[in-house]
Structure 1
Amino acid sequence: MNDIEIRAKSHELIQRFEIKTLPVDPFAIAAKLNISIRPKPWNQEGGISGALLRSGNDFGILYATNIPNIGYQKFTVAHEIGHFVLDGHMEHLQLSDGDIHYSTPGFYGDKYEREANYFAACLLMPEPLFTQAMSANDDGMESIKNLAEKCGTSLTATAIRYIEETESMSAVVVSEKDEILYSLFSKEMSELKKVKRPAKNMPLPAGSLTYEINQSTDSLGERVGDINMLDWFDNGFDVEGKEEVVRLGNYEKTLTLLTFCSDHEEILEDESMVNSWEPRFGR
C-alpha cells in the first residue's frame, strides 16, 4: 500500500468511530474492533514492543510494559491494529490458531512493518486534527513537544508527523553514538534537489551539537544551537538555521530537529539558476 492508501485506511477508522478530538485512544479502537488488549512485561531492552495473536477466530494485542511510556505503548497498539486492518497484512502474516506475530521498535526494512508504523502515526495524529493543533504552535522542538502532549504520542512519532506536515525547511534526524539511524525531510527541504537526505549508518557531522551530546556522559537531555546548512549538508546552501537536540529515553538515542530560516522560494530560484549554468556534455 502507498502512503495515500494507508492514510485513507486510518481515516476510515477515525470517521467510523466518530473521533473528533485529540488524543486518539487506540485501546478503545481495538475494543470496538473486537480485539482484546493485554499488557506484557517483556524484559528484553530494545527487543519486543508488541504482538498480534490469534486464538480461533479471535485476535488479541500484547504491548510491552518494560518501557513505561504511554505514547510508546499507544503507538505499539496502533501498529498492531495496522496489521489487522491494512490490505494484505493478514495474508502476509498468515496467523493460524495459536500463532503470534512479534513486533520490535524502530524503522524496518520490511514493507509491512513500515506500513504498520505509518498507519499508527496517521491513526494517532490524524488530519485535520493534527494540522489544526500544529497551527496553534510555532515551528521547532517546542511545537513537537506540545503536539506530543496533546496527542499522547511519543516525541519521535510526533516529530515524524510534524516533519510531514510542516511548511518550514526542516529535517528530523534520529541517531546513536556517531551514526545516523534514519532521517526525514519536510516537503520544502525535499524540493532542494542538490541536498541529499542522510542515509542510515552515515556518520554524524563531528562538530554538531548532536555528535557532542551523543559522545557525552552528561545527563543534560536537551541542547539548542545556531547552525549553517553547510554544517550538515556538503551540497547545502549558505543559510542559517537552528539545531535542537533531545535525548530519547531508555534507548540512548537522540532526536534532532534542523530548521532553516531562509526564504524557500529564493533558494529554489538560486538552485534553478545554478543548474541552468551547469555544463551539459554528450548532447
Structure 2
Amino acid sequence: MSDPTTPAAWGIQLAKLWLASGQGFPVNVETLALEVTKQRFSEPVGIVMPHGIDGIDGMLSKRKKHKDWCISYDKKVVVPGRINFTIAHELGHYLLHRTLHETFQCGQAEMMDYDSLESKRLESQANTFSSYLLMPRNDFDAQIKGQEISFELLGRCAERYQTSLTATVLKWLEFTEEAAMLVVADHDEFICWSYCSQSAKLLRAYKPPGESVPPSVLEHLRANLSGSRTARRVEPGVWHPTEEAIESAIISDQFEQIIFLIRFPFASAPNHEEEPESDSLTELTEKAQGSGS
C-alpha cells in the first residue's frame, strides 16, 4: 500500500484501514499509531503517553536512543475527545512532517497565535488529518441524514467519534450545503472567533473577533440559562443584517466560553460560483482541540 501525499488522504486511508480490521468507532488512535507505524516505517511511534509539561497540549519527539518517536499529551486533560484529537494531531505531524523537525510542541498559545505562515501550515495540516481520520465523511453523513442539525445531534456524533463538540461542528461546517456558522465568545461577551460554512460565507455572515455578542442574544441567555441549548428563531439584524436565523448556545464555565450554533435555513440559496472553495479544517479546527465542549 503506497503512502498518501496529502493530510486528507492519509486520514481517509487510515480510517478505512481501521474499519477494515473489524473495528468500530471511535478510532483508537493510540493503537493505530503504534501498529501502523511499526509495520510501515523504520523509526515508528514507539510509545504514546501522558506528560506533565504545562502549556503543551500534545508533543511529538524523536527518541534517538530508541530509534523511534514518542507521542505525549497533557495528563491534566480529562476530556476524552481532546485526548483523542491531540494524539491524532501528533500522529499527523509524524506522518506528514517528521523529516522537517525532531520535536513538535503544540499548545493553545501556538494554535491561536502562529509565529509564521509555515508553522500555521503544518498545524493546519495535522488538524486536517485528524478530522478525516476520526470523522469519516460517509459515516458522518449517515449519522445526520434526514435530521435537523442541532447541538444535541452533533453532540451524539462527537460521542461516537470521541472528539470535542467544537471539532465535530467544524467538520459538519466543512461539508454542509446549509448556511450556518459557529461563533465562540468569551465570558466577557466578546467574540473570540467564528467560522462559516461555504453558503454562509456567501451570505457574508462572518462575525469578526472582538465584536460584541448581540445585546438581544445576551438578554435572552441571561433569562434562559437552563434552556440555552434550545433552538430559537431570531429576527434579521441580530446575526445577519437581512436574514432570520435559528440560534442555539452552550455556556461552558469550565472553558469560560459561550458557543453559538447559528443556522440560516430561510436564506435563499447563494450562487456557489461566486466564490472559490476553501479548506475550512486548515483554518480553525485547531481551536476545537483546545475546547472541551
Q: What range describes the TM-score normalised by the shorter chain of this pair?
A: 0.7 to 0.9
Distance 2:252 2:227 in 1: 8
1:49 aligned to which of 47, 57, 60: 57
Distance 2:121 2:190 in 1: 23
Structural mapping, 1:260-279, within 5 Å: 260-265=264-269
Deviation of the 1:69 alpha carbon: 0.4
1:187 corresponds to 2:198: yes
1:128 shift after superposition: 1.4
How far off is 1:52 after superposition? 0.7
Deviation at 1:242, TM superposition (A): 1.6
Residue 37 (structure 1) aligned with residue 40 (structure 2): no
Aligned residue-pair number: 247
Conserved? CA contact 2:11–2:131, under 8 Å:
no
Measure, in 2, the Cα distance between the counterparts of 1:108 and 1:115. Answer: 16
Aligned-pair distance for 1:70?
Answer: 0.3
Distance in 2 separating the partners of 1:155 and 1:249: 15
In the alignment, structure 2 segments of 5+ residues that lack a partner are 39-44, 115-119, 275-293
1:47-92 CA-partner distances (Å, limit 9, x unpaired): 2211111111200111113121000100100110110112xx2244
The offset of 1:159, in angstroms, is 1.0
Give the counterpart of 1:169 among 164, 179, 185: 179
Corresponding letter in the other structure for 1:127:
R
Alignment of 1:149-160 (within 5 A): 149-160=159-170
> By how many angstroms is 1:173 displaced?
1.0
Deviations 1:19-64 (A, max 9, x none): 674222211211112421002245x4xx221111111120011111
Identify the structure with bigger relative contact order (alpha carbons < 8 Å, sequence gap 6+).
2
Cα distance, 1:132 vs. partner? Answer: 1.7
Is structure 2 residue 105 aligned with structure 1 residue 102?
Answer: yes
Query: Kindly tell me: are residues 221 and 90 of structure 1, through their superposed partners in 2, closer, same or farther at Cα, counting changes over 3 Å?
Result: farther
Whether the 8 Å contact between 1:245 and 1:256 is mirrored in structure 2 is: yes
Letter in 1 for 2:161: C
Sort the Cα spacing of 1:139 and 1:196 in 2 relative to 1 into closer, same or farther, 3 A: closer
1:228-243, aligned counterparts within 5 Å? 228-233=235-240, 236-237=241-242, 239-243=243-247
TM-score (norm 1): 0.76
For 1:8 and 1:172, the matched residues in 2 are separated by 26
AA aligned opposite 1:7:
A
**Aligned with 1:254: secondary structure?**
strand
Q: 1:72 to 1:222 in 2, by over 3 A?
A: farther
Name the counterpart of 1:255: 259
Q: Which amino acid aligns with 2:107?
A: T
Could you say which residue in structure 2 is the equivalent of 1:280? none
Using structure 2 for the length normalisation, give the TM-score. Answer: 0.74
Match of 1:119 in 2: 129
Q: Is 1:138 matched with 2:138?
A: no
Runs of 4+ with >6 A deviation:
none
In structure 1, give the amino acid aligned to 2:141: T
| Cα distance change of structure 1 residues 136 and 75 upon mapping to structure 2, 3 Å threshold | farther
Greater shift, 53-62 or 10-19, is seen at 10-19
The answer (yes or no) to whether the contact 2:234–2:244 under 8 Å persists in 1 is yes
CA contact (8 A) 1:108 1:114 kept: no
Secondary structure of 2:12's aligned partner? helix
Instruction: Indicate yes or no: 2:214 matched with 1:205.
Output: yes
Deviations 1:227-266 (A, max 9, x none): 1342123xx32x322211112362211221001221532x
Range that drifts further, 63-72 or 163-172: 163-172
CA distance in 1: counterparts of 2:79 and 2:15, whole angstroms? 24
Give distance in 2, aligned partners of 1:229 and 1:65.
Answer: 45
1:211-242 superposed Cα distances (whole Å, 9 cap, x missing partner): 875xx7x9858444321342123xx32x3222
1:27 corresponds, among 11, 26, 30, to 30
- Name the residue aligned to 1:9: 10
Q: Structure 1's 161 and 249: CA in aligned 2 closer, same or farther, altered over 3 A?
A: farther
Instruction: Please list the CA deviations of residues 106-148 of structure 1 after superposition, one character each: whole Å capped at 9, or x if unmatched.
Output: 5453221122122212211112122222216421212111111
Structure number with bigger Rg: 1
User: In the aligned structure 2, how far is the partner of 1:24 from the partner of 1:78?
Assistant: 10
Deviates more, 1:139-148 or 1:4-13: 4-13
Residue type of the alignment partner of 1:67? V
Q: Would you say the 8 A contact 1:221–1:246 is kept in 2?
A: no
Distance in 1 (CA, whole Å) between partners of 2:82 and 2:185 is: 18
Cα distance between partner residues in 2 of 1:169 and 1:152:
26
